[in-house]
A and B are shown apart, each in its own frame.
Chain A
């Protein structure tokens, strides 16, 4: 059984040029949110919710608005601006007379939950929050459910925000040197029935470094591109064509979602010479990879 990416959309800080030349943009490439999100509700939405919801709704629109069997999100930091807003308010008001709005929107599963409510979706609803492995955990969860025959389509979304007020205090949350932080989202509709030229998730996993080197030794290097989404993998042999997001863009915990979105776009380019893209993510101890191909 194959698992295919039927539609995808991302909000990120990357520009894709000719022949898979990728550069960073100064600002996030943001859409006209009010096209898909009600303008009255938008004022209440934090950035992570806005990015995540818009990406998800766009992916659903592209997939003929099928209601998926489940909604699975990955977020490294969760709703950090609402968390900080409530904390700061609590300290300022010395724990008296607090309004609940920020608290209500502070739980990590606010995005999945809000999408469930908006889409009237009673299906599976999960949220993973494990640093650089947050989005991968969500994708793996969706793939496992499809493989187990639990439904046909899952909406997978990775989203994170890094508001300036928050960056100031939690920018050292990760031991990744002095890289700046960025934010964004990418969403994917994955399913078991393939449309014309849908990228297929041909393999994925969490492995240790040695095992991953072995995996790389067995691929066709002529039509394969490697996207390094984080900095833990170390040097990748010169013989591979690669894009290194850790050099190109500021960091976020969902860079593997941004990388997979980039992979889909490159594979779908009209004259793309790449048939395979391997996105690498993970933590210091464990490497996650997603191998997508197009036939």
Chain B
């Protein structure tokens, strides 16, 4: 990808930290955590499992959109709307006639389905039509319709690496010249399905998570949305756009080990990181900071750290910003892409909140407060169920 750099000219974000890029930057800059008790989502786990929850009801979110008050719109779509709006407006893209859309989600409309099934089990009549936004593609079509995106629409669903893949794939499509612009990113809302699913796997921490720490005890789920506007560097320069950063490398591999667990030596992660470096024509020593996948589970952080130690002789600073947002599943790759661009623009790196002690067996440590640091290239990892491993490299 290094030959024809793909410029990032717009970004938008909505996380438990806040709505908007500058507000998220303020929170990161000030070590402010978005992890709290669950109060909006109606679940039995309120009060026992903390999460990166956005403190707005669906009704409040919907009232800020053009949707009618009687429409049941997936929460992920409602979270996406302000983030996409922000990214388009920041990019100054002239129109959306030559813009492709790469949307990533795992939840899709399951939040609506689970509510309907609950009502149905209580004897309430539910018409089939109410399930019409259940599938992932339905959300993509809703958002394309909402913004009148005229280009091709794609939906990627590879569990927790989904939006990292959306960004990498959009960058590759721009490189092949088939489209002029792309909006790429993803969203996942908290729902009972994912909370209970991860809880049944016994990998949720009952306290605010401590990724990359020796005492880590699981992840906190989160919710959010983030999107980038991408175009070739040449196009951005020609139209005088403000370039925020570049996508310079991408690779996706398979760990080929287990449906939900990572291999001990992190083979898939190792290959993805190596692949992204090759794609970017960079050496490990060119990387100034690593935004780790760093979920906070025993398995992920050990495996990812092992993979990093195999690639980097001299470890650059590593942190996990999931300690701010929780693990936002399909949205995490895009949210961490926005955080990476903020690091590049402000020449500061964001910490792993609550980090205290390095993981036994690892040579490298993380850090627990914001640090000014020269940042040129950032490696951002995203791994998912099914052994899906993706690495992106962002540059100035």
- B32 interfacial contact with A, CB 8 Å: no
In the complex, what residues of A have CB within 8 A of residue B176's CB? 144, 147-148
Alpha-carbon distance between A3 and B165 when the two chains are bound, in angstroms: 24
Alpha-carbon distance between A130 and B102 when the two chains are bound, in angstroms: 10
Name the interface residues of A107-135: CB closer than 8 Å to any CB of B: 107-110, 112-114, 116-117, 119-131, 133-134
Q: Which residue of B lies closest to A113 (CB)?
A: B386
**CB < 8 Å: which of B128, B169, B257, B384 contacts A141?**
B169
Alpha-carbon distance between A1 and B140 when the two chains are bound, in angstroms: 33
Most buried by A among B132, B138, B141, B152: B152
Name the interface residues of B251-270: CB closer than 8 Å to any CB of A: 252-260, 267-268
In the complex, what residues of B have CB within 8 A of residue A83's CB? 110, 193
Contact with A along B267-282 (1 / 0, CB 8 A): 1100100000000000
**CB < 8 Å: which of A107, A114, A120, A133 contacts B137?**
A133
**CB < 8 Å: which of A87, A117, A168, A173 contacts B132?**
A173
Alpha-carbon distance between A283 and B44 when the two chains are bound, in angstroms: 39
Binds A, one of B112-120, B205-213, B292-300: B112-120
**CB < 8 Å: which of B152, B156, B193 contacts A206?**
B152
In the complex, what residues of B have CB within 8 A of residue A141's CB? 169
Tell me the minimal C-beta distance from B80 to chain A in angstroms: 15
In the complex, what residues of B have CB within 8 A of residue A110's CB? 259, 385-386
Tell me the minimal C-beta distance from A232 to chain B in angstroms: 13
Q: A114-B259, A173-B132 are in contact. Are A106 and B271 (CB under 8 A)?
A: no
Binds A, one of B196-204, B311-319, B351-359: B196-204
Alpha-carbon distance between A117 and B43 when the two chains are bound, in angstroms: 34
Q: Which residue of A lies closest to B133 (CB)?
A: A173
Is the beta-carbon distance between B384 and A144 smaller than 8 angstroms?
Answer: no
Is the beta-carbon distance between B385 and A113 smaller than 8 angstroms?
Answer: yes
Binds B, one of A54-62, A92-100, A222-230, A234-242: A92-100
- B29 interfacial contact with A, CB 8 Å: no
In the complex, what residues of B have CB within 8 A of residue A100's CB? 197, 200-201, 260
Contact with A along B73-88 (1 / 0, CB 8 A): 0000000000000000
In the complex, what residues of B have CB within 8 A of residue A168's CB? 128
Alpha-carbon distance between A93 and B157 when the two chains are bound, in angstroms: 28
Is the beta-carbon distance between A130 and B44 smaller than 8 angstroms?
Answer: no
Tell me the minimal C-beta distance from B108 to chain A in angstroms: 8
In the complex, what residues of B have CB within 8 A of residue A117's CB? 254, 256-259, 387
Alpha-carbon distance between A104 and B144 when the two chains are bound, in angstroms: 30
- A105 interfacial contact with B, CB 8 Å: yes
Q: A100-B201, A123-B254 are in contact. Are A95 and B131 (CB under 8 A)?
A: no
- B134 interfacial contact with A, CB 8 Å: yes
In the complex, what residues of B have CB within 8 A of residue A127's CB? 156-158, 386
Alpha-carbon distance between A95 and B41 when the two chains are bound, in angstroms: 13
Is the beta-carbon distance between B156 and A128 smaller than 8 angstroms?
Answer: yes
Name the interface residues of A62-92: CB closer than 8 Å to any CB of B: 71, 76-78, 83, 86-88, 90-92
**CB < 8 Å: which of B113, B128, B253 contacts A125?**
B253
Is the beta-carbon distance between B259 and A104 smaller than 8 angstroms?
Answer: yes
Is the beta-carbon distance between B44 and A116 smaller than 8 angstroms?
Answer: no
- B136 interfacial contact with A, CB 8 Å: yes
Is the beta-carbon distance between A125 and B387 smaller than 8 angstroms?
Answer: yes
Is the beta-carbon distance between A95 and B157 smaller than 8 angstroms?
Answer: no
In the complex, what residues of B have CB within 8 A of residue A88's CB? 117
Q: Which residue of A lies closest to B253 (CB)?
A: A122
In the complex, what residues of B have CB within 8 A of residue A116's CB? 254-256, 386-387
Is the beta-carbon distance between B252 and A171 smaller than 8 angstroms?
Answer: no
Is the beta-carbon distance between A77 and B45 smaller than 8 angstroms?
Answer: no
- B155 interfacial contact with A, CB 8 Å: yes
Alpha-carbon distance between A212 and B75 when the two chains are bound, in angstroms: 36
Contact with A along B164-194 (1 / 0, CB 8 A): 0100010011001000000000000000110
In the complex, what residues of A have CB within 8 A of residue B364's CB? none
Q: A109-B384, A125-B253, A286-B152 are in contact. Are A90 and B114 (CB under 8 A)?
A: yes
Is the beta-carbon distance between A172 and B135 smaller than 8 angstroms?
Answer: no
Is the beta-carbon distance between B141 and A283 smaller than 8 angstroms?
Answer: yes
Q: Which residue of B lies closest to A134 (CB)?
A: B137
- A194 interfacial contact with B, CB 8 Å: no
Q: Which residue of A lies closest to B202 (CB)?
A: A100
Alpha-carbon distance between A283 and B135 when the two chains are bound, in angstroms: 14
Is the beta-carbon distance between A173 and B388 smaller than 8 angstroms?
Answer: no
Alpha-carbon distance between A123 and B192 when the two chains are bound, in angstroms: 33
Q: Which residue of B lies closest to A96 (CB)?
A: B44
- A35 interfacial contact with B, CB 8 Å: no
Q: Which residue of B lies closest to A108 (CB)?
A: B157
Q: Which residue of A lies closest to B158 (CB)?
A: A109
Alpha-carbon distance between A100 and B197 when the two chains are bound, in angstroms: 6
Given contacts A130-B153, A131-B141, A175-B132, 8 further A-B contacts (CB under 8 A): A76-B135, A116-B387, A117-B254, A123-B253, A125-B252, A133-B153, A137-B154, A285-B153
Query: Which 9 pairs show the lowest CB-CB distances between chains A and B?
Result: A113-B386, A103-B197, A116-B254, A108-B157, A131-B137, A130-B155, A172-B128, A100-B200, A125-B254
Can you report 28 A-B residue pairs in the complex whose CB atoms are below 8 A from each other?
A76-B137, A87-B193, A91-B114, A91-B117, A91-B118, A98-B196, A99-B200, A103-B197, A106-B197, A107-B384, A109-B385, A110-B386, A113-B388, A116-B254, A116-B386, A117-B258, A119-B256, A122-B253, A122-B255, A127-B156, A127-B157, A129-B136, A131-B141, A144-B176, A147-B176, A148-B176, A172-B131, A173-B132
